[in-house]
Amino acid sequence: TKNLVEVQSLKKYFKIKSDVTVKSVDDISFYIRKGETFGLVGESGSGKSTLGKTLVGIQAASDGDIIYNGQNIKQLNKEMKRNVNKEMQIIFQDPHASLNPRMRVGDIIAEGIDAYKLFSGKDRTNRIYELLERVGLSPQHAKRYPHEFSGGQRQRIGIARALAVEPKFIVADEPISALDVSIQAQVINLLEDLKVSEDLTYLFIAHDLGMVKHISDRIGVMYLGKMMELSNSDDMFTNPLHPYTQALLSAIPKTNPRDAKRERIVLAGDPPSPTNPPSGCRFRTRCPHAMEVCALQEPQWKEVEKEHWTACHLY
Ligand code: SF4
Ligand code: MG
């Protein structure tokens, strides 16, 4: 299968004071296949949103390469880069903060249409109506303002805005975390429908593994700016290799008898500050298997089993 996005040694650092740098994304390499849903999981502060935003070009990488559809984004001219940016869209976590309260819904949805001058006049209006219907809203909603809508409806507006420019790759950054549990499934179903009808590829970001289990083809687990493990969804749940993944899985309520042998692993302490991560393996201060070497050497990112990568000295 062809890869739509390839990430090579990607870094995104933020200098927050003259002597303090946060390594939000620190040397990550992986790929996302065309047509798959790639679930990206980690606690807050693990760098998953930063990775998503860097991939779609909202922020520039500090180092490393992003290859989109075979083209290294760094090497593209302005116009080609603009076109790639159009094909990569993002749906934000908070449907309240991400919609301008002073803009009408129709104009919000048309932000990309206007920026890329895709439609004007009557065609633009028709396109807005079509998008509203596509996400389960109605044309008469175009004239209203965001505050007139529920959280779930606002997220649909955010989805329509992302779809407006006919993207191929969408980063969904915790798209249901801020929504009532009762409507989360509706938004997930909409995203799954759209994936098929619009031929999309997703990077789906979530803070826990349970949320991405059923929708992801493959899953990556991040911790303090690093990818800890990556495999297909089934392997991640039946054969987790990294002690951090094992701990995350043990925290999910058991519904499958096959999982019954899992013991709850309680991690010691809180995640360390991303401004001052532990030496060697960043997980070592909380790892039940930590050894001497873990403080001294950073574990390499290795394909331990076929299509199953992890970074841990146990392997
Ligand atoms: Fe634990 Fe060491 Fe593996 Fe890190 S490298 S997860 S500290 S065993
Ligand atoms: Mg986030």
Average pLDDT, the chain: 94
Percent of the chain with pLDDT over 90: 84
Residue 300: inside a domain: yes
Which three-class secondary structure state does DSSP give residue 191?
helix
Strand partners, 227: 222
Q: How far apart are CA 177 and CA 207, in angstroms?
A: 8
**Which ligand 1 atom minimizes the distance to the CA of 282?**
4
Element (H, E) at 242: none
Q: Considering its fold, how many domains does the chain have in total?
A: 1
* Distance from Cα 174 to the centre of ligand 2, integer Å: 7
For the chain, report the end-to-end CA distance as a whole number of angstroms: 28
* Distance from Cα 14 to the centre of ligand 2, integer Å: 15
**Residues 6 or more apart from 93 whose CB is under 8 A from it?**
49, 173, 174, 175, 177, 178
Cα–chain center distance at 110: 23
pLDDT surpasses 70 at 309: yes
CA within 13 Å, CB half, 229: 29
Phi, psi of 119 (to 5 degrees): -140, 155
Q: Could you report the per-residue pLDDT of 289-304, keeping only the tens digit for each? A: 999 999 999 999 999 9
The answer to whether the predicted template modeling score (pTM) of the entire model surpasses 0.90 is yes
Residue 315: inside a domain: no
Residue 298: inside a domain: yes
CATH number, position 239: 3.40.50.300
User: Which ligand number lies closest to the CA of residue 46?
Assistant: 2
Residues contacting ligand 1 via CB (< 6 Å): 242-243, 281, 283-284, 287, 289-291, 294, 299, 312-314
pLDDT of residue 262: 64
Contact 84, 5 (CB under 8 A): no
* Distance from Cα 211 to the centre of ligand 2, integer Å: 15
Residue 147: inside a domain: yes
Q: Could you report the per-residue pLDDT of 25-59, keeping only the tens digit for each? A: 999 999 999 999 999 999 988 999 999 999 999 99
17 Rama sector, left if φ>0, alpha if ψ -120 to 50, beta otherwise: beta
Q: Beta strand 218-223 with 201-206: parallel, antiparallel or unpaired?
A: unpaired
Q: How far apart are CA 231 and CA 218, in angstroms?
A: 6
To 5 degrees, how large is the angle CA 119–CA 123–CA 126? 120
To 5 degrees, how large is the angle CA 290–CA 222–CA 291? 10
pLDDT surpasses 70 at 258: no
pLDDT of residue 274: 84
Q: Where does 48-168 show beta strands of DSSP type E?
A: 63-68, 71-72, 88-91
Residue 255: inside a domain: yes
Read off the DSSP letter of residue 251: T
* Distance from Cα 218 to the centre of ligand 1, integer Å: 22
Full residue range of the structural domain in which residue 42 is found = 3-310
Give the pLDDT band of residue 193 (cuts 50, 70, 90). Answer: very high
Nearest CA to ligand 1 atom 7: 284
Nearest CA to ligand 1 atom 3: 312
Q: Could you report the per-residue pLDDT of 97-128, keeping only the tens digit for each? A: 889 999 999 999 999 999 999 999 999 999 99
User: Which ligand number lies closest to the CA of residue 178?
Assistant: 2
